[in-house]
Amino acid sequence: MNAQSRSYQVGVIYGDGIGPEIVREAVKVLDRVAERFGFHLEYTQLYLGGSSIDRFGVPLTQETVELAKKCDAVLMGSIGGDPATSPWYKLEPSKRPEAGLLAIRKSLGLFANLRFSRLFEDLKDSCPLKESIAREGIDFVILRELTGGLYFGEHKTEVVDGEDVATDVLSYSDHEIRRIAVTAFETAMLRKKRLTLVDKANVLDSSRLWRKVTADVAKDYPQVTLDYMFVDNASMQLVRKPSQFDVILTENMFGDILSDEASMITGSIGMQPSASLAEGTFGLYEPSHGSAPDIAGTDKANPLATILSAAMMLRYSLGEEEAAEAIEKAVEEVLRKYRTPDLVTQNAQIEQVGCTRMGDLVAASL
C-alpha cells in the first residue's frame, strides 16, 4: 500500500455459473466506495475452477497462485458446474473445479474461514425459523478450519479382499488447531466474547485434540467464555436457538456443513459472506454459496453475499474499515425496499429486483 494515495491490488476470480454476474456487481460497489473514500483499486483477473479448465486444461495453474500472492487480497465468485451435465465432471476428481478451490486454499495458506450469519432487521420476515426465534436475533460467525482435516487427508479407493474400500483420512496437528483457535479468540474479543468449540469429542481423537489445544489457547483469553458442543447437537441448536451463538470454532468438514445451515436461517444462502484468511492480512473473499448453474445468466442471483464479502475484504485485508461499514449500511438500507427472488417475503411493499439492479441500488446508496 502507498500511504499517500492508498492503492491496492485486488485479484478477481469471476468463477463459474452465477460467479461472473455476482462479482461484476461487487466490483461495481467496490469502485463506488473507493471513489467515495478516496482510495484506488487495481484489479488483476485470475482464473480458477471451470473457467481455468476451459482456458488452461487444469482447475488451477501455478501462474494463478503466483499472481494471487502478489495481490493484497482476492475477490472470488463461486466455482463449479452441474455434475450431471457439465463436461468438467467427466474428468477425474483431482482435475475438477473443486480441486482447484481446495488447491488455492492450500497454496495461499488460507487456514481460517470466517462465515458470518447476521439476520438483518428487515429480513426477519425472510427467516425460515419461527417468528419467536427470529425475534431474538441472529448474529454469529463460524470459524471453519480450511486447510486440514478430511479434505486434505489421504484419499484412496482400493480393492481389499475382493471388494472396493474407500478411505479418507481425518488428521489434525497441534499447530493447525492452535493458529485458528487464536484467530477465533481474537474474533470473540471483538464481539460478545463467547466461543463455542463444535466437535465430536465423544467419538473422534482429532476432536479430543481440538478440545485440548483450544482449552490451552483459552488461558490467554480469560475474558472469553469457552464452551463445547457436539456437532450433532450444534446443528439442532442452530435452528432451536441461534441467538445463543457468538463465535463457533470448528474443523473443516463440520464447518462446511454447519455454515450452509447457518446461512439459510438468515434468510437465504445468498446472504452469507465469507473471508478466508492467511497468516498476516492476505485473504480470499467469496460468498459461501455455490455457482447455481441452474440460474446462471438469468439475472436472478443474489449478489449481496459477494458484495458483503467485498466489505470483509476492505476490513480484513485492506484496512478500509469505514468503507466496509458503508457497504454494510448500504446493503441494509437497500433491503428495506428491495429483494432478489431468493429472499422470500410476504410484504407487498417490497420490490423484487434482479442481480444487476441490486448491485446498482447498493452502489447508488453509497
Contact residues toward Mg ion (CB under 5 A) are 256
Which of the residues 287 through 316 are near ligand IPM (CB under 6 A)? 288
Q: Does 251 bind ligand IPM (CB under 6 A)?
A: no
Closest approach of Mg ion to the CB of residue 102, in Å: 12
Kindly state the DSSP code that residue 12 receives in the 8-state scheme.
E
Beta bridge partners of 142: 115, 248
Question: What binding mask, one character per residue, do residues 92-121 give for ligand IPM by CB under 6 A, x or -?
Answer: ------x--x--------------------
Catalytic annotation on 200? yes
CB atoms within 10 A of CB 361: 20
Q: Does 246 bind ligand IPM (CB under 6 A)?
A: no
C-alpha closest to that of 328 among 113, 33, 76, 75: 33
Q: Does 256 bind ligand IPM (CB under 6 A)?
A: yes
Cell of 19: 460467479
Q: Cα-flanking dihedrals φ and ψ of residue 273, to 5°?
A: -85, 160
Q: Which is nearer to ligand IPM, 106 or 211 (CB)?
A: 106
Closest approach of ligand IPM to the CB of residue 26, in Å: 17
Cell of 133: 426465534
Q: Which is nearer to Mg ion, 78 or 196 (CB)?
A: 78
Closest approach of ligand IPM to the CB of residue 346, in Å: 30
Spatial distance between the Cα atoms of 51 and 80, rounded to a whole number of angstroms? 9
C-alpha distance from residue 310 to each of 112, 117, 286, 339 (Å): 17, 16, 8, 19
Closest approach of ligand IPM to the CB of residue 288, in Å: 6
Q: Which is nearer to ligand IPM, 67 or 253 (CB)?
A: 253
The HSE-up count of residue 270 (CA atoms within 13 Å, CB side) is: 27
Query: Which one of the listed residues 8, 47, 151, 228 is annotated catalytic?
Result: 151
* Interaction partner, residue 199 (Mg ion, ligand IPM, none; CB < 5-8 Å by kind): none
* Interaction partner, residue 98 (Mg ion, ligand IPM, none; CB < 5-8 Å by kind): ligand IPM
Contacts of 203 (CB under 8 A, 6+ apart): none
Contacts of 101 (CB under 8 A, 6+ apart): 48, 49, 59, 79, 80
Closest approach of ligand IPM to the CB of residue 23, in Å: 16
Q: Are 196 and 237 in contact (CB under 8 A)?
A: no
C-alpha closest to that of 261 among 117, 62, 130, 57: 117
Q: Which is nearer to ligand IPM, 231 or 334 (CB)?
A: 231
Question: Taking CB positions, which residue lies at the least distance from Mg ion?
Answer: 256
Catalytic annotation on 151? yes
Q: Are 115 and 140 in contact (CB under 8 A)?
A: no
Question: What binding mask, one character per residue, do residues 67-86 give for ligand IPM by CB under 6 A, x or -?
Answer: -------------x------
Q: Show which residues are catalytic.
A: 151, 200, 232, 256, 260
Enumerate binding residues for ligand IPM (CB under 6 A). Answer: 80, 98, 101, 256, 288
